């Protein structure tokens, strides 16, 4: 599973409203079509168990809702749009960099997401890296956002070869899904 996650230690992503807004700004159903996933592929917001996979019993994902995304960004203080159409807070444009590789359709996905964010006044720059470099940077906490592969091995969630650290998620960004996610892995 390919996941876009935020470093909530970064000032831009500390506010849960921002994380929710960015998720709401992505038409993930259309993204799956762009990436040629089969119809009916589930859109997911958080971790899930093997039992949920077998029974296809997933929490309802957050919808694509750019109007609500805009409202949440405004509530989080990202109000003014500068001459480039970017939202600003305290005179600083909403501009961040995502680490992304080129495996598993990430190249197409990251460009699609970049376009979706631009529509709500957010610039996402793309820093293409080898998977090992993404792993090192995320492990060190040296990133703003990253697209990475998340998989299970031996029953534990893993991210780029290490056990998944739930602190990488924007806490409570997905309240329905977080209830189902394990508290400590």
Q: Strands 80-81, 95-100: parallel, antiparallel or unpaired by DSSP?
A: unpaired
Residue 149: beta bridge partners?
Answer: 2
Residue 97: beta bridge partners?
Answer: 125
CATH architecture of 2-180: Roll (3.10)
Report the C-alpha gap between 151 and 142 in whole angstroms. 22
The pLDDT, as a whole number, for residue 81 is: 81
Host H or E run for residue 47: none
The pLDDT, as a whole number, for residue 105 is: 66
Report the C-alpha gap between 169 and 101 in whole angstroms. 19
In contact, 137 and 143? CB cutoff 8 Å = yes
Please tell me the pTM assigned to this model: 0.78
Report the C-alpha gap between 55 and 45 in whole angstroms. 17
Torsion (CA) 39, 42, 45, 46 in degrees, nearest 10: -140
The pLDDT, as a whole number, for residue 96 is: 97
pLDDT (tens, 9 = 90+) of the chain, 185 residues, equals: 677 888 989 999 999 999 999 999 999 999 989 888 898 888 877 666 778 778 878 788 889 999 999 999 999 999 978 889 999 999 999 999 999 987 766 888 899 999 999 999 999 999 999 888 888 898 899 999 998 766 554 444 444 433 334 444 443 333 333 333 333 32
Neighbours of 114 (CB within 10 A): 16
């Amino acid at each position: 599973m390919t996941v876009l996650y935020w470093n909530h230690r970064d000032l831009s992503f500390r506010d849960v409203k921002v994380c929710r807004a960015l998720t709401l700004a992505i038409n993930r159903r259309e993204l799956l079509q762009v990436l040629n996933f089969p119809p009916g592929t589930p859109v997911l917001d958080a971790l899930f168990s093997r039992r949920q996979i077998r029974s296809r019993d997933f929490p309802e994902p957050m919808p694509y809702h750019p109007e609500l995304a805009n409202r949440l960004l405004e509530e989080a203080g990202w109000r003014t749009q500068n001459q480039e159409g970017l939202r600003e807070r305290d005179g600083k444009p909403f501009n961040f960099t995502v680490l992304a590789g080129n495996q598993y359709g990430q190249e197409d996905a990251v460009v699609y997401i970049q376009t979706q964010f631009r529509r709500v006044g957010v610039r996402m720059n793309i820093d293409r890296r080898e998977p090992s470099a993404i792993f090192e940077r995320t492990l060190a906490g040296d990133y703003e956002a990253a697209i990475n592969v998340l998989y299970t091995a031996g029953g534990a969630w893993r991210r780029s070869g290490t056990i998944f650290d739930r602190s990488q998620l924007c806490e409570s960004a997905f309240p329905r899904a977080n209830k189902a996610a394990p508290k400590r892995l």
